[in-house]
Amino acid sequence: MSAEDALAETRRVGAEQLRAVWKRPGGWRRLSSVNNSDVGRWFAFACLVFMLTAGVMALLLRVELATPAQDVLSARQYNQLYSLHGSVMMFLVAVPIFEAISMLLLPAILGARELPFPRLGAMSFWGFALGGLFVIGSIFFDAAPDAGWFMYPPLSTQVSGVGSDVWLLGLGFIEITSIAAAVELITSVLKVRPPGMRLNFIPLYAWYVLVVGAMVIFAFPPLIAGSLLFELERELDMPFFDPTRGGDPVLWQHLFWIFGHPEVYIIFLPAIAITAMIVPTVAQRPIIGYSWIVLSAVGTGFLSFGLWVHHMYTTGLPNISLGFFSAASQAVVIPTGVQIFAFIATLLAGRVTRSTPMLFIAGAFAIFVAGGLTGVMVGLAPFDWQAHDTYFVVAHLHYTLFGGAVLPIIAGIYYFYPLITGHMLSDTLGRWSFWLIFIGFNVTFLPMHLTGLIGMPRRVNAYPAEIGWQALNLVSTIGAFVIAAGFAVFVWDLFRSKRDQPERPRNPWNAGTLEWAVSVPEESWGVRSVPEISSRYPLWDEPEIVGRMDRGEFFLPDAPTGHRETLITSVLDATPSHVLRVSGDSFVPILAAFGLGGSFILPVFKLYWFALASGLVGIAAIVWWHWTTTAQPPEKNARDAGMGLTLPVYVSGPSSTGWWATWITMLALLTAFVSLVFAYFYYWTIWPVFPETTPAAAPHWGGLALLGVAWGLTITGLKLNQRGHAASFRAAFVTAFGCALAGGALFQWAPFAAGMDPTVHAYPAIVFVLHFWITIHAALGALMLGYCVAKSWDGRLTRDYDADVWNTLLVWHFTLGMAFVAAAVTGLYPGAT
């Protein structure tokens, strides 16, 4: 056998191994797939279905408003429908579509096999699907949320029925799954890049994923904290927003909009990210101003957190506060403008090929710039006092969302469709659908600016005939149906049979980025081998690269141990650091999602014990999947990764992806905690006299001390284990386990011991919540300690294989930090004022 034959044989064997390892389960078992391309497709499909549902709701709303006193819907139905339309579009379409698209494309864009935590991704999809169906389904039982998508109390807490619980618990669960998805995506961009993809080569899409992921980590927790307070008020009568007992409805508005405004950019930036992938391809040249776009992404990410009060200009806050937020609202326009001009500059410098994606991008520019300009107007407080809560704002937000999300996403679907399905969409139908949507959109929403300025408030189901709003409303309704027709064409194009089409060309748009190098015909391994790159547009600059990838000349061309693997690299210069074994297909993520989902959904029906049981099932499922698949000691901690490089397959601590994910998750939990502390001090600013009761000193400081001991023992345990003292390590962790539970319980009991009843006043209530937050973290820390001990006993956590211990320690760092702050605030602060 010649050397050449031997090489061919090795490659054939490698391909066979990969094919076997990445084989998709067949039949109904397909549902157990956790592969990013399956889950990503389901995710995107679910978003599309939810979007069409919410679109139909919008049509019903427009029919009701077509004439002054239509009676198609009752006021109750109208209110439920508009509340759902907003909530579904925001929480079930706009935000998750980013996660769906990223899950689908990010590994390809990064030349990777898989995302680092496939089961987490699958769980987050199933949780999303369950929560989404639950929230939408409520409309059929006359039980949908009916207080608007921002759910202002006291209307939502004291007047609304079960719809408020549906909103809070259903969407609260989805927020948590969104954070899970963000953790996975951030870790991917930081650690799962192909060798050679330095910071200055990262595709712009991935930069945006990083920024948006970070925004999710900081923006969603305030809403989760708010939802916690909200649900405690509804279920346990703790008066956080009830002014008769010291609460304040405006606190909810702060917490909601601290989430709500960044959320607008969480929706907008991914669409810009898609644009940033399409524009260079269309112009057939590298983007101009790469660093400028990175600047805009990061800058917008920061500035967007300084805008929230501009949704509260009419709540009677002092002018000075409004002034600050007005200033920030103007400042955020600058990075947005930079992005638009970077695209224009690129188009100017390149040779533009006309295509359907470009048509949608061009339409998006026109609409988004208009929406941005009306945004500048409403950002100015005096103007907003007039326009706030009117159809002017309705028009403004739809201009930004269509221009800044819907149209670029459709452009992205036209652009990436061949990559995802292997077929092209029709240019003719694309043009039809574009012009219908574009014209319909402007017919619907352009008149609304005027409707709002002449006095029509939003959220009304009827209006007097004699004040001149009728013609404008009728025009808007007609436009809405034109948009619907455009979407019908688009959806038809998506799903019509394309069997008679030939297989797509490998790189139909002649793009320069790695995602167009995935294997054709599609293989579930994604790429045959993980490439090493040396430029920003490898497919343009390194003509050999696709062939070499296909021949398996790069990294990980085989799977000798039968594990699914992907390559992990360093953050700055993407030098290979280790090979990560990712978990395979399983039904456990579904069980985990449904178990946890049940613990959110069942309380709506007051089935508290079932909710508890369901939550325990969910937690058990998660523990089980970690126990059986994550951080398993390998047979041999070395793997020939290809290209003459041997890499470890097990790492722990800061080099491991699991440690990074834990870090990011804890950051989100810390943000939620900061939001609760913010609530505490917010009450301090509004109460003329601050209560002086403190939690009972002995359990308060004793509890904190015990948590401190647990933390110290965790550090000691880690060191002991590193030195190979397994028995003492276990002893330290078992003691820490006991201290954690006892400390948490004492700390929780402290306010009650001082007679602080959380239902009497908002003060004991907020103290209760701060303590409760610490207690659940102590419980989480205890669970992880116990897990480490059990795994050590089982012989799978040893001196060399100690990733779980590192992650546990990280959780304890955060837990003790939060406990310390909480104890200081509730124990010391009242006396100091």
Partner 1 sequence: MFWVVLALSIVVWLAVIGVAIYAMRRNRDIASDHTGLWLILGGGVIIPTVVLSVLLVWSLGVMPTLREPSRPPALVVEISAERFWWRVRYRDANLVVDSANELRLPLGEPVEIILTSPDVIHSFWVPNLAGKMDAIPGRTTRLLLEPERVGRFRGQCAEFCGTSHAQMAFAVEVMPRAGFDRWIAAEARPAVPLAGAVLFETHGCGACHMIRGTAARGTAGPDLTHVGSRRTIAAAALPMREADLIRWIAHTEDVKPEVNMPSFAMLPRRDIEALATYLLALK
Partner 2 sequence: MAGDEDEQELGTEVAALLWIALGPAIWTAHFLGVYITGAVLCAKTPAVALGTTRIVTVLLTLAALAMLLVLLRLAWRRWDVVRHGDILHEGDSVEDRHRFGGHAAFLLTGLAIIGVLMMALPPFFIDTCR
> Which CB atom, from 137 or from 654, has the smaller least distance to partner 2?
654
Neighbours of 700 (CB within 10 A): 23
Tell me if 726 contacts partner 2 by CB under 8 A.
no
Ranges within 261-320 binding partner 1 (CB under 8 A)? 285, 288-289, 292, 314-316, 319
**CA–CA separation, 48 vs 488, rounded Å?**
12
**CA–CA separation, 372 vs 547, rounded Å?**
44
**CA–CA separation, 758 vs 447, rounded Å?**
50
Number of residues that bind partner 1 (CB under 8 A): 82
Among partner 2, partner 1, none, partner that 650 touches (CB below 5 to 8 angstroms by kind): partner 2
**CA–CA separation, 663 vs 781, rounded Å?**
14
CB of 231 to partner 1, least distance (A): 19
CB of 297 to partner 2, least distance (A): 10
CB 171 within 8 A of CB 131: yes
**CA–CA separation, 299 vs 258, rounded Å?**
17
Neighbours of 184 (CB within 10 A): 27
Q: How far apart are the first and last CA of the chain?
A: 87
Query: Nearest 5 degrees, angle CA 211-CA 217-CA 219?
Result: 95
SS3 646: strand
Tell me if 240 contacts partner 1 by CB under 8 A.
no
Neighbours of 174 (CB within 10 A): 26
CB of 330 to partner 2, least distance (A): 6
Tell me if 22 contacts partner 2 by CB under 8 A.
no
CB of 206 to partner 1, least distance (A): 21
Options 534-542, 591-599, 739-747, 755-763: segment touching partner 2 (CB under 8 A): 534-542
Tell me if 573 contacts partner 2 by CB under 8 A.
yes
CB 809 within 8 A of CB 714: yes
- Which residue type, as a one-letter code, is found at position 745? A
- Indicate which single residue of 1, 291, 466, 689 sits in contact with partner 2 (rule: CB under 8 A): 291
Number of residues that bind partner 2 (CB under 8 A): 54
Q: Hey, what are 637's tokens?
A: 């901690």
* Residue where the block lists tokens 């408003």: 65
Binding to partner 2 by CB under 8 A, coded x per residue (else -) over 424-463, reads: ----------------------------------------
Tell me if 395 contacts partner 1 by CB under 8 A.
no
- Indicate which single residue of 108, 147, 710, 741 sits in contact with partner 1 (rule: CB under 8 A): 147
Tell me if 346 contacts partner 1 by CB under 8 A.
yes
Tell me if 415 contacts partner 2 by CB under 8 A.
no
> Which CB atom, from 337 or from 457, has the smaller least distance to partner 2?
337
Ranges within 199-228 binding partner 2 (CB under 8 A)? 199-201
Options 315-323, 522-530, 665-673, 776-784: segment touching partner 2 (CB under 8 A): 315-323
> Which CB atom, from 341 or from 481, has the smaller least distance to partner 1?
341
**CA–CA separation, 745 vs 749, rounded Å?**
6
CB of 198 to partner 2, least distance (A): 4
- Which residue type, as a one-letter code, is found at position 592? A
CB 114 within 8 A of CB 583: no
> Which CB atom, from 464 or from 724, has the smaller least distance to partner 1?
464
Tell me if 250 contacts partner 1 by CB under 8 A.
yes
> Which CB atom, from 615 or from 648, has the smaller least distance to partner 2?
648
Per-residue DSSP letter, 535? S
Closest by CA to 279, choosing from 198, 365, 197, 211, is 365
- Indicate which single residue of 153, 172, 335, 589 sits in contact with partner 2 (rule: CB under 8 A): 335
Among partner 2, partner 1, none, partner that 763 touches (CB below 5 to 8 angstroms by kind): none
**CA–CA separation, 274 vs 251, rounded Å?**
36
The DSSP element (H or E) to which 567 belongs, if any, is strand 564-569
CB of 559 to partner 2, least distance (A): 23
Per-residue DSSP letter, 403? I
Ranges within 167-206 binding partner 2 (CB under 8 A)? 196, 198-201
Tell me if 362 contacts partner 1 by CB under 8 A.
yes
Among partner 1, partner 2, none, partner that 26 touches (CB below 5 to 8 angstroms by kind): none
Ranges within 492-531 binding partner 2 (CB under 8 A)? none
SS3 566: strand
CB of 365 to partner 2, least distance (A): 22
Among partner 2, partner 1, none, partner that 806 touches (CB below 5 to 8 angstroms by kind): partner 2
- Indicate which single residue of 8, 13, 199, 344 sits in contact with partner 1 (rule: CB under 8 A): 344
- Pair type for strands 639-642 and 564-569: unpaired
Options 20-28, 137-145, 333-341, 674-682: segment touching partner 1 (CB under 8 A): 333-341
3-state per-residue secondary structure call for 4-71: HHHHHHHHHHHHHHHHHHCCCCCHHHHHHCCCHHHHHHHHHHHHHHHHHHHHHHHHHHHHHHCCCCCC
Ranges within 685-714 binding partner 2 (CB under 8 A)? 685-686
C-alpha distances (whole Å) from 160 to each of 74, 152, 762, 781 are 16, 11, 21, 37
**What CA dihedral angle connects 378, 379, 384 and 389, to 10 degrees?**
70
φ, ψ of residue 568 to 5 degrees: the values are -110, 135
Tell me if 70 contacts partner 2 by CB under 8 A.
no
Helices 333-349 and 290-303 cross at an angle (nearest 10°) of: 160
Tell me if 762 contacts partner 2 by CB under 8 A.
no
SS3 495: helix
- Indicate which single residue of 43, 290, 787, 812 sits in contact with partner 2 (rule: CB under 8 A): 290
Options 110-118, 127-135, 239-247, 291-299: segment touching partner 2 (CB under 8 A): 291-299
CB of 108 to partner 1, least distance (A): 27
Options 359-367, 565-573, 575-583, 738-746: segment touching partner 1 (CB under 8 A): 359-367
**CA–CA separation, 247 vs 600, rounded Å?**
25
Ranges within 625-684 binding partner 2 (CB under 8 A)? 648, 650-656
> Which CB atom, from 418 or from 452, has the smaller least distance to partner 1?
452
Tell me if 691 contacts partner 1 by CB under 8 A.
no
3-state per-residue secondary structure call for 736-767: HHHHHHHHHHHHHHHHHHCCCCCCCCHHHHHH
* Residue where the block lists tokens 């499922």: 621
CB of 520 to partner 2, least distance (A): 27
CB of 692 to partner 2, least distance (A): 17
Rg (CA), the chain: 27
Options 248-256, 554-562, 687-695, 730-738: segment touching partner 1 (CB under 8 A): 248-256
Tell me if 339 contacts partner 2 by CB under 8 A.
no
- Indicate which single residue of 135, 182, 303, 822 sits in contact with partner 2 (rule: CB under 8 A): 303
Tell me if 295 contacts partner 2 by CB under 8 A.
yes
Tell me if 67 contacts partner 1 by CB under 8 A.
no
Tell me if 801 contacts partner 2 by CB under 8 A.
yes
CB 425 within 8 A of CB 494: yes
Contacts of 587 (CB under 8 A, 6+ apart): 31, 32
DSSP lists the bridge partners of residue 580 as 566
CB of 497 to partner 1, least distance (A): 33
Closest by CA to 451, choosing from 375, 370, 378, 387, is 387
Binding to partner 1 by CB under 8 A, coded x per residue (else -) over 432-451, reads: --------------------
- Contacts with partner 2 by CB under 8 A lie at 196, 198-201, 286, 290-292, 294-295, 298-299, 301-303, 305-306, 317-321, 323-328, 330-331, 334-335, 534-536, 570-573, 648, 650-656, 685-686, 800-802, 806
